[in-house]
Every structure is written in structure tokens, then in C-alpha cells.
Amino acid sequence: MDKIPQKIGRYEVLEIMGEGGMGVVYKARDPNIGRLVALKVMKPSLAADKDTAEMFRERFEREANAAGVLQHPNIVSVYDADEDDGAPFIAMEYVEGRALEDVLEEKGGPLPDQAASIVAQVARGLAFAHENGVIHRDIKPGNIIITDDGTAKVMDFGIARTKGSDLTRTGTVLGSPNYMSPEQITGQDVDYRSDIFSIGVVLYQLLTGEKPFLGENQTSISYRVVRIDPVKPSKINPVIDPLYDHVTAKALAKRPDDRYQSALDLADDLEGIAEGRGLKEEPPESTRIVEGGGGTKVLGVPLPRDEAMPGREFLESSLIKVKNQASALLEKKEAKPAIAAAALIILIIALVMIFTGDDDPYAKIEKYIKSGKHEKAAAALIGLTEKNPNDHRAFYLLGAESAASGDFNAAVRAYSSALALNPEYKKDASPVEKLLRAPEDEEADLAVSYIVSEWGKAAYKRLKEALKDPDYNTHWNAATALEELGYRVDTLDLLVMDLNNEDCEMRKVAVEKMDELGDRKAIPKLEAARGRHWDDNSCMGDSIDVAIENLSKVKSGKPTRKQPLKKIKKGLDKIFKKN
């Protein structure tokens, strides 16, 4: 442990309050005004690493900029951010109390109404932050402190995003997986409603003593957050008011538009329940949080009893019954040989059932995937990966299931785990085929980058074939991957496919991009398109004539490529998403 310094900057260090792997928090005094403060400091032993020091400096500056302007009773105030002998530090409000995660570890935890009061205070503090353009993005029990008088205060705005900030861009995942929103986990851009989801996770944990999204690894946790709804809190803790089920379900809605649209509304509902006033609005008859009982429960997702996976125990018990019947027949003197033979045949069939695919969970899961039963497939696969973190086949199938259901970020994570556990999967081209269908910029960029980094030029043949695929996402993603691998792609061929798209706006953009490429070979393609009759050609205007005229003026030779492939695709993406 590093030696406790006497001073940090102008602050007089009194004692150590806590210590982590990379930082230390000290109780200190500001001699200028005699105020007690909490100093969060990077460990001196790490200061020699320039990258680490710069990371802390950026984080502390971000926290100072975010929390420094937030003066609210439910937010820990930040007074100063500076550095001492190259080690960055931040001076915060000194609070007598305990972190909420320590309160949760106590036997029994807080009572429901106490939990509602704590979360309502957190929500009011965050509502103030949201009004001032600050999104916390890391709400969890460890970042909430409860004072001795019961006041809840939010702290650690180290990865917060302020209005106009570009410190964290779309595609970057920051936060604690158990408390992150679906959009945060998938690397999408987030707004204040992501904090509301995290508040819902904390509320659920306070009410039940359990986290709503549990898993043995980050893949299983992430999948549950994005796809699986937790059990109602009242099913776990029957003493709580069922109205809390509604509040929790609304806060934990997968789509931001389905959540509370203001942290203040969440606080009002919690206080209304605790004080006996009820909710501001009557809850709907149904709720998004699933019932926990009935049928076979796989990772919190119950399956109907008649669709539960056949187990070895059932088959073995059936085998015992068949064996006993066969023995009884053989013992009877009047039993004919044919009867005994039939009994033996039945016995053999039962043995085959036990040792063949009827008891193979992977075969059952593959059937689920092919039939579109994605939630059942996902639940079973997550169960297999939790039971055995080295189950490469389960991770591989989870990649296929995630791609089939449209969650390409999850597909990349699952395929990464599968290939790390069993490199033989690189010989299979099917993951490349599935990932090439990733839509939108962020998911497509991730999928393409993964294909390039994992398969490299080994994927060349499949990528070349994908260039001819009429699916918009497939051929453009394949082209992007090929260019990143250093191959030249004839963009004109791709634009010709888009020129035949059913959507008129897409055709118009394809014409504009052909014009910008400056390739005279596009002229006959455009003339052929002009001769075709589409049901609705009003949006095309004279764009084809203008493009042909411009291209006719281009000198023969190599085309004048004005835009890189990615920029061309981005222009088309805007039209594709709009429709």
C-alpha cells in the first residue's frame, strides 16, 4: 500500500477512507476555508504510466465539469480538480454515511418503503442533472451514498456525458453491465432514459435482494439485459405492494420510449406508493415483467410444460418401465417368442432414444432457432453457457441465434467467445454470412470489423460471393470488408443493384452516387434504367438525364472517384433507414 501523504495540493490529508485497485479516497481539510473534503486520488505508484495518468485526468476533469455545476441535496458536490506532482485528484463534498452496496449486504436490507424513499431521492437528483444536460451513465449501489440521516446522494460522475460532449461516442460501451441499459450495452447513443433504466435495476435489487439480470459471464448478463424480462418483484418478495411491479417494469422497459420519460415521474410514483396515494396513472392490465411460475423455468424464462426439453431422467424412467414389462412377458409360460421379441425391440428403441438426438439440447435449440422461437433458444443457450463457461458449441449457436433475431452486437460477442474456445469454427463461413446482414452504421461497422480481424483474407471467397447478394446490407458490408482487407471493389456494380431497388428514393440516391463516381461505364446502366417503367417514378425527376449528361463530359479512362466507399454507403444508409 502506498504511503499516506501529509498533503495533496493545498489539502491536508487526515485519514484514508477507502482504496481500490487504481485509486484512493482520503478525508482531508481545505486550509483556506477549513472545510472537510473527500479527495479522490490516483495511486502515486501508477503516475509513472502516462496513459493511466491521462485516463484519470480526463475522468476527473469530466467529473468536475459534470458534477461541478450540479448543486443539489441528492448529488455529492465536486469542488475542485487538480493534480499533485503529476497525479490527478478531485476534491468532493465530504459525506458521513455508507455506500448503498454496503446497506444491501446487510441481512434483510431496507424495507420496501425505505427502498422507495432511497430510489426516489436518487431519481430527483438525477432529474436535476438531466435538466442541466448531464447523463450519469453509471448508476449503481456503489455510486450512491446514504447519509446518517437517511439522505441519498449520487456520486461519481466520472463517465458522465454532458451536453455537447464528444468524450464518448456511439459504439463505445462504458458502465457496469448489471446496471446498464439495453442501448448502453449494445453501444448505441444514450440519453437520460438510460439512467432511468439503471435506477430501475437499483430499485429491483432493493425490493428483492436480487439483481434482475444475473449471469455467469458478461455475455449472459448482456443478453438478459437486452432480451429477457425479469420476474415480478412481488413474486420474489411477496410482502411488497404489487404497484412496485408496475413501477419496476416501466423503468426497466427495453425500449426507451416505453420507460418513464422523466426521473421526476418515477420519483412521484415511488413516493405515492410509499405514502398510500398510489400511482399518478392507473397501471395497464398487463405488465412486461413475466410471471415466474408455470412450466419449466430456464434462466427465468418459463417454458410451457408440453414444450419443455425432454430430460434423461424421464427417458430412463420410461426405459425401466419397458424393461419390467418385457421381463414379465418372458416369465409367463404362455408368452410366445414373438411377444418377447417385440418387448426386446421396444427396449432397444428406448436405448436409442437415450443416446441419440432426442436428448440432445443442441438439436432442440437448433429447431427453436429455425422455427423463430428466439426467446426459448436464447434462454436455453444462456443456461448452457452459465453451466459450462467453456461450452463453445453453445456460444456458437448463441451467435447464430442473436444474428437471426437481429442483435448483431450480441452475435459478435457470442461468436468471439466460441472462436476463442474452439478456433476450428474459423473454417465455417456461416458466421460471416450471418454477420454481413447487420443493418445500420454502428452494428454494421462492428460486424465488418470483426469479420476482418477474425477471418481476414480467409473470408475473401465468401465476401466476393456476397457482393452479388441483392440484400442491401449484405453487399455493402461485404464491399466494406473487402476494401478494409485491401481489395478493390467495383462500386458501380453495387450501385446498379441499388438502382433496381423497389424504393424510389434509394434509386435516386444510387443515380446521384453514380454521377459522383464519374465512371462512363455507368451511362448504359442509367439509360437502361431510364427505359424501365416503375409504378412511382415521381421522385426521380430528371436525375437520370442529368447524370448521363455529366458522365458524357467525363474523359475516357479511369473513373474519377470522388468519395470513398464508406461515404457512399453512408449516403445510401440515410435513405434506407428513413424507409
| Domain count for the chain | 4
- Cβ(513)–Cβ(534) under 8 Å? no
What pLDDT is recorded for position 243? Answer: 93
Amino acid making up residue 168: T
Residues designated catalytic: 138
Residue 214 falls inside a structural domain: yes
Residue 299 falls inside a structural domain: no
Same-domain status, 14 and 111:
no
Same-domain status, 320 and 279:
no
| Nearest-10 crossing angle of helices 504-517, 543-552 | 10
Residue 365 falls inside a structural domain: no
What pLDDT is recorded for position 470? Answer: 80
Burial 158-188 (b: 16+ CB within 10 A, else e): bbbbbeeeeebeebeeebbbbbbbbbbbbbb
- Cβ(203)–Cβ(251) under 8 Å? yes
What pLDDT is recorded for position 127? Answer: 94
Same-domain status, 213 and 141:
yes
What pLDDT is recorded for position 196? Answer: 95
- CA separation for the pair 569, 562 (Å, rounded): 13
Last residue in a domain, options 93, 112, 135:
93
166 Cβ neighbours under 8 A, 6+ residues apart: none
Same-domain status, 189 and 282:
yes
Q: Which residue has the cell 437499483?
A: 202
- Cβ(110)–Cβ(118) under 8 Å? yes
Question: Of 116, 158, 22, 134, which Cα lies nearest the Cα of 72?
Answer: 134
Same-domain status, 225 and 178:
yes
Residue 302 falls inside a structural domain: no
- CA separation for the pair 576, 574 (Å, rounded): 6
Residue 202 falls inside a structural domain: yes
- The structure's pTM equals 0.56
- CA separation for the pair 111, 114 (Å, rounded): 5
**Residue 557 half-sphere exposure toward CB, CA atoms < 13 A:** 5
Render 278-339 in DSSP notation, one character per residue: --SSPPPSS-SSBPS-SSEEETTEEE-GGGSPP-HHHHHHHHHHHHHHHHHHHHSTT--HHH
| C-alpha to C-alpha distances, 195 to 179, 200, 256, 282, nearest whole angstrom | 9, 9, 10, 24
The distance from CA 289 to its chain's CA centroid, rounded to whole angstroms, is 18
Same-domain status, 355 and 388:
no
Residue 111 phi/psi, 5° resolution?
A: -70, 160
What pLDDT is recorded for position 238? Answer: 86
What pLDDT is recorded for position 559? Answer: 52
Same-domain status, 187 and 269:
yes
- CA separation for the pair 151, 145 (Å, rounded): 8
Same-domain status, 453 and 564:
yes
Domain encompassing residue 508: 370-578
Q: Which residues pair with 404 in a beta bridge?
A: none
Residue 154 phi/psi, 5° resolution?
A: -85, 135
Residue 307 falls inside a structural domain: no
Residue 1 falls inside a structural domain: no
Same-domain status, 103 and 85:
no
Count of other CB atoms within 10 angstroms of residue 34: 7
| C-alpha to C-alpha distances, 11 to 18, 20, 76, nearest whole angstrom | 17, 21, 18
Dihedral in degrees, nearest 10, Cα atoms 34, 39, 43, 44: -30
Same-domain status, 127 and 247:
yes
Across the chain, which has 579 residues, the per-10-residue mean pLDDT values are 80 86 83 91 70 71 68 88 80 89 76 90 93 87 90 77 45 65 84 94 93 79 83 88 94 94 95 88 55 32 33 48 57 56 61 54 85 83 82 89 85 84 84 86 78 84 86 84 83 77 75 78 78 58 78 66 51 48
Last residue in a domain, options 37, 64, 93:
93
What pLDDT is recorded for position 161? Answer: 53
Q: Grid coordinates in use for 531?
A: 427505359
What pLDDT is recorded for position 290? Answer: 44
What pLDDT is recorded for position 321? Answer: 56
- CA separation for the pair 559, 501 (Å, rounded): 24
Query: How is residue 284 annotated by DSSP?
Result: P
Same-domain status, 184 and 332:
no
Same-domain status, 222 and 341:
no
